[in-house]
Structure 1
Amino acid sequence: MNDIEKLFEEYSDCIYRFCCNIADNLYEAEDLFQDTFLKAMEIEAKVMAAENKKSYLIGIAIKLEKNNRRKKARHKEIAPEARGFDRESDILEAVAMDEKSIEDSFIEKEQIVRVRENLQELAPSYKMIASLYYGESMPIKEIARIVKLPQGTVKSRLYKIRGMLRKGLED
């Protein structure tokens, strides 16, 4: 088993989750995930030399996502499309798999769906920070290094994100 295969085995779940959080839909997330590991294969020596390989892979995914957004804007292909994940199937899955009452399951899943929808509405830079902090449980210092921003800026953006999410849930 070569080095990239080992990295894939170790980090594929968290990188896939991150890609789902920052992409506009599931198809783009899957493409981003695949492109991230393809790029990692191209620059294998740099990836293997990195001190924190997970952060390096997340950095690759961020750069690829930024490039994809630039391409869309450049080609003016931004059109309304289904954002986020399949809401109805998520709710039905939760009801079917949970042992809680149907009402509790529905309410809990509805809250998760609303948070996801609100996260998808965030600006891409906010979405990345929220995904790294809440989805990957990364410390602020590491997030600041990945997105190349001061720690104070990351903290203030997290504060703004919480406010936006709170406002979105109250509406």
Structure 2
Amino acid sequence: MDIDELIELVQLHGKSIYGFCYKLTGTKEETDDLYQETFLKAVELRHKMDGERNPKAFLIAIAVRLHKNHRRKHAWRQRIAPTVVLDEAAANKPASISKEATPEEAVLSLELRTMIQDAAHHLDDKLKLPLYMFYTADMTVEEIASALRIPQGTVKSRLYKARQTMRSILEVDSP
């Protein structure tokens, strides 16, 4: 795979990879870093990438591995020298809301979106990664299994368990 084919991959899959990176990290700055590192690593590994197979799954697998490495390093650093966690709620601005919606509908939509994101945030990575890959990156079970290097049955069971866990969290939170 040459550089021109890699540029084409960025054009084809860039938005979905960026969205997936955002779901993993939650902040724009970390998303930008992970997105950039993903494609830098893809340049390094371009000889391993097969354009005929699913290149999007390959790129997402790179992003997942990089994210896991960052989290592992961060956890290690926190054990050595803990830092104060800053409140990033002000930095996370909600996505644009439809202009046709009434104010009540906009508030309810934003509240529902926030509840779902919070429920997904409480899942551990084993459940969260397949869930994000399935719903935000539009990957099939087979592609997720290939990217995470786990059996398809494991992906299906993790998706099921993630949905059940989120359902139980949301049922407890709803009035």
TM-score range, shorter chain: 0.7 to 0.9
Alignment TM-score, normalising by the size of structure 2: 0.84
How big is the shift at 1:147? 0.9
Gap runs ≥5 in structure 2 = none
How big is the shift at 1:117? 1.7
AA of the residue aligned to 1:80: V
Question: Aligned in 2, Cα 1:23/1:133: closer, same or farther, shift over 3 Å?
Answer: same
Aligned to 2:85: 80
Q: Is the 8 A contact 1:83 1:120 kept in 2?
A: no
How big is the shift at 1:47? 2.4
Question: Aligned in 2, Cα 1:33/1:86: closer, same or farther, shift over 3 Å?
Answer: same
**Within 5 A, what are the aligned runs for 1:12-161?**
12-48=14-50, 51-76=53-78, 77=82, 80-82=85-87, 86=91, 89-90=93-94, 93-94=96-97, 97-161=98-162
Greater percentage in helix:
1
**C-alpha RMSD of matched pairs (Å):** 2.3
Q: Is the 8 A contact 1:132 1:138 kept in 2?
A: yes
Alignment TM-score, normalising by the size of structure 1: 0.86
Identity of aligned residues (%): 33
Question: Aligned in 2, Cα 1:142/1:21: closer, same or farther, shift over 3 Å?
Answer: same
